[in-house]
Amino acid sequence: MEVDPDGYNAVNNYMLHGPCGDLNPQCPCMKQGKCSKHFPKKFNNQTNFDADGFPIYRRRNTGTQVKKNNVLLDYRYVVPYNMNLIVKFDAHINIELCNYSRSVKYLFKYINKGSDRATATIECTDTAELHDEIKRYLDWRYISATEACWRIFKFDIHHREPAVECLPFHLQGENTIVFEEKERPENIIRIPNAVKKKFMEWFTTNQKNDDARELTYSEFPTHWVWDANGKKWNIRKMGKAVGRIYFAHPASGERF
């Protein structure tokens, strides 16, 4: 207190948790008889990390105690803080060391986080009125000001590494063909390479190339690239990708 009275008062006023536990069972942090914030902490001579990578801060047992709500509290009830910040802003500011691999998500989560928006409608389910799902999606698609600026400057929205090549499979002559509703099936059959698909061309590539036979179907995209226009597999010259075979449940039958 004599060395840094401003820091001492800031910690005493804003950075003490509780009291909770047996000292105050009615504290809001109490869940099923235990503190949900895991206070009081244990005394520790130096900062280290637990098995999950979370920090265990140094909390020395100096015998110093302060009174809060008529209860004496020591260093075990102090919330982690930065002295300069709590003195400058005269407020509760919890500072934690991030040493967890998934903590990087916050770098991208909060820069695109905008204002909250809620839409409520009252509808009758007995009517035969058709709902325009496209219109609903466009109405509910909300872009915050921060995300709008991010897109205006053409910054990357997402990144995927490595690329994933979806690998369908089917029985002979039962491959999927996608066409527009107005087109006639007879014309679809006459389209060149209409029946050439990744799975069947994988067999063809294995027949023509000895090197291709050393790879399984799921390993194939690591050394071969699917040419969607030419409907064939080509030797990979650059980049990398992994294959992902569609899941087939054992009860799906042979016509999956």
Contacts of 112 (CB under 8 A, 6+ apart): 144, 146, 147, 150
The pair of structure tokens assigned to 38 is: 């895991």
Label residues 132-162 b or e (16+ Cβ within 10 Å = b): eeeeeeeeeeeeeeeeeebeeeeeeeeeeee
> What are the tens digits of pLDDT across the range 200-231?
899 999 999 988 899 999 999 999 999 988 88
Neighbours of 79 (CB within 10 A): 19
| Segments making up each domain of the chain, as ranges | 5-22+38-101, 163-252
Q: Which of 82, 13, 71 is nearest to 40 (CA)?
A: 71
Q: Which of 26, 32, 37 is nearest to 71 (CA)?
A: 26
In this predicted model, which residue has the larger pLDDT, 91 or 18? 91
> What are the tens digits of pLDDT across the range 89-124?
999 999 888 776 666 666 666 666 666 666 666 676
> What are the tens digits of pLDDT across the range 191-208?
767 678 888 899 999 999
- pLDDT at site 119: 66
Q: Using an 8 Å Cβ cutoff, are 218 and 245 in contact?
A: yes
> What are the tens digits of pLDDT across the range 21-80?
888 888 999 998 899 998 999 999 999 888 777 788 999 998 888 988 888 999 999 999
Kindly state the DSSP code that residue 157 receives in the 8-state scheme.
Answer: S
- pLDDT at site 188: 74
Neighbours of 199 (CB within 10 A): 15
CA distance 97 to 253: 52
- pLDDT at site 49: 84
Neighbours of 185 (CB within 10 A): 8
pTM for the predicted model, two decimal places: 0.43
